[in-house]
Amino acid sequence: MNPNDHKDPKDPNKLTEEELIQLLEELKKRKKSKRVSVTLGFMLHKNYVIHMILSLSVNLLISAVVFGLAIGIGQPFVDMNVLGYILAIILLTLAENFIKILMFKYLARAMIFSMGLLNVMAQIIILFLIDMLLIEGFHFISIENLIIFAFIFSLFRLVISIYLRKWIYSEKLVFFGGKK
């Protein structure tokens, strides 16, 4: 008889070796699921280079859709050419990822409470600075168009990002601690 196999009669709260191993396995499983949920908050992929490529692709696609819809209804948001558009979206992707990392590091609580509004405000500021930086090739027609674009773009990107993460991780997403 192994003394570790049975509980100590003097201390009923003391765990056996088997119970400790089982508890460690459960903790490892929980840690993995938390890592995935933290990753899903901002990152499109666990590998940062792949995340940046996916982020740039999504930004190019969604911005083209939003600009195209605006042109389709006869209210273009921006006066641009192809080179200016591509450069602006590359700058947006790089700046936005850098700013989001800083915001998640130093303003995590405020970002959670703002429910994404801080991200949109940062995006509006970044787009305004890009508009000022690129003299030719990319210019918003008015500040109202920039704000409308930022909100529509963020909404579309949120939907696409959720489905992209769902496809990449091939698992059901859990929102607000609900059941799978």
pTM here? 0.69
Pick the more confident residue, 10 or 96: 96
Give me the pLDDT at residue 56, please: 93
Task: Report the share of the chain in percent with pLDDT over 70.
Answer: 76
Q: In this structure, are residues 55 and 97 in contact, taking their beta carbons and an 8 Å threshold?
A: yes
Q: H or E segment at 79?
A: strand 78-80
- For the stretch 98-120, pLDDT in tens is 998 888 888 878 877 888 788 88
Confidence of residue 164 (pLDDT cuts 50, 70, 90): confident
**Helix residue ranges per DSSP H, the chain:** 17-42, 48-72, 82-106, 108-114, 117-133, 143-169
